[in-house]
Amino acid sequence: MQRSSAMRLNVTKTYNYMFLKEKITLTVVACLMAQPAQPNSSRPMRIVTGGTGGGNDFLSRILAQGLTQLRGQQVIVDNRPSGVIPGEIVMRSAPDGHTLVVYGSSFWTASLLQETPFDPIRDFTPVTLAAFTPNVVVIHPSLVASSIAELIALMKSKPGAFNYGTSGTGSANHLAGELFKVMAGVNLVRINYKGPGQAISDLMAGQVQVMFATATAGLTQARAGKLRALAVTSAKPSALAPELPTVAAAGLPGYEAVSPYGIYGPARMPVALVDGLHRDILAILQRADSKTRLFAAGIEIVGSTPAQLTAAMKADQAKFGKIIKEAGIKVE
């Protein structure tokens, strides 16, 4: 796939999640000084998310536990098959603050890949961009490359000779790989797997040579000597992997592709309800035990305003929409 100058301009104007973290510091402090919102009824709250396991489920359970303690109101996690189902359930729920959805970027990129019953901007009320997970570029140790610049040079010397593994069409690691291909101007062949575990296993076995893996999976195997980690995909260095540079700094300026976790309610939620949820969720995210548990799972806390979540969604839709259209990516 060839890179055009217009594409270069658009993909380098990526939404900077780490910059967002810095900008919201004062917001977090102000929110934590406020009193927690009072529960508006004894009826249980529900957090709808994807299947059990993974970042969405893990974050949902931390929030459910924290909200239950903070509000004195039972909060349950409702796991549904990953895809459009969690969003459709919340879209059709009453905007009374009792139903939320926790989901990653596939929530707002799904409509770019297939027909969906909802519009992620129109049909939901943003609460906060709670956190994100940086991906890690990991390669098989047999590749003669110790940096992103060297990896790009190697790929350009042998177009189409190298594969990268993904865990689903439109997944964060898939879009990270496609963005890399466009910005680097390389022909990297995609091999899709049913899940990240199988992709990582084949990477270690040398069946594929590259993967834009989650921080936990990629770093675990790299630190065990089974893979070589080259860089993180966040815009700024990550505390999860302080030894690694960013892709942008290591050879591909402007590159950023992370896995965000957004929290939303149905459309037309009253401002007072949104403000109360936002305040309580930020308080939970800033607790020491929450920080420890999320960090151990490879998740970095953000805690944005609702408006900043909307801005992140729109920026990602613009950036990856171009990638998806040019590559002809569709959910099969």
Q: Could you tell me the CATH number of the domain that includes residue 100?
A: 3.40.190.150
Q: Is residue 120 part of a domain?
A: yes
Strand blocks (E) in 162-275? 162-166, 188-192, 210-214, 228-232, 258-266
Q: Is residue 93 part of a domain?
A: yes
Same domain, 53 and 14: yes
- DSSP H helices, 256-305, are 271-285, 288-296
Residue 189 identity: V
Listed residue (311, 184, 180, 322) closest to 257, CA to CA: 180
Same domain, 124 and 141: no
Same domain, 127 and 269: yes
Q: How far is it, in rounded angstroms, from Cα 286 to Cα 62?
A: 12
Same domain, 218 and 318: no
Range of the domain at 209: 135-232
Same domain, 166 and 313: no
pLDDT digits (tens, 9 = 90+) for 182-216: 999 999 999 999 888 999 999 999 999 999 999 88
Mean pLDDT of the chain: 88
Question: Residue 332 above 70 pLDDT?
Answer: no
The SS3 assignment for 195 reads coil
**Contacts by 243-249 with C-beta closer than 8 Å and gap 24+?**
244/136, 245/148, 247/137, 247/148, 247/180
Residue that terminates a domain, selected from 232, 248, 279: 232
Q: Which residues contact 37 (CB under 8 A, 6 or more apart)?
A: 71, 275, 276, 277, 279, 280
pLDDT digits (tens, 9 = 90+) for 97-134: 999 999 988 888 888 888 889 999 999 999 999 999 99
Same domain, 170 and 214: yes
Q: Is residue 141 part of a domain?
A: yes
Same domain, 59 and 112: yes
Q: How far is it, in rounded angstroms, from Cα 178 to Cα 14?
A: 14
Q: How far is it, in rounded angstroms, from Cα 181 to Cα 276?
A: 42
Confidence of residue 28 (pLDDT cuts 50, 70, 90): very low
Q: Is residue 299 part of a domain?
A: yes
Weakest-pLDDT range from 71-80, 142-151, 176-185, 316-325: 316-325
Same domain, 162 and 191: yes
Among positive and negative, which fits the CA dihedral 265, 269, 274, 277?
Answer: negative
Same domain, 114 and 57: yes
Q: Is residue 47 part of a domain?
A: yes
CATH label of the domain that carries residue 203: 3.40.190.10
Residue that terminates a domain, selected from 232, 249, 281: 232
Among positive and negative, which fits the CA dihedral 57, 99, 309, 294?
Answer: negative
Q: Is residue 223 part of a domain?
A: yes
Same domain, 20 and 126: yes
Same domain, 127 and 172: no
Beta strand pairing status for 188-192 and 162-166?
parallel
Q: Is residue 242 part of a domain?
A: no
Q: Is residue 62 part of a domain?
A: yes
Same domain, 225 and 165: yes
pLDDT digits (tens, 9 = 90+) for 256-277: 999 999 999 999 999 999 999 9
What is the rounded average pLDDT of the residues 248-258?
95
Q: How far is it, in rounded angstroms, from Cα 316 to Cα 322?
A: 10
As a whole-number percent, the residues of the chain with pLDDT over 70 amount to 87
Q: How many domains does the chain contain in total?
A: 2
Confidence of residue 5 (pLDDT cuts 50, 70, 90): very low
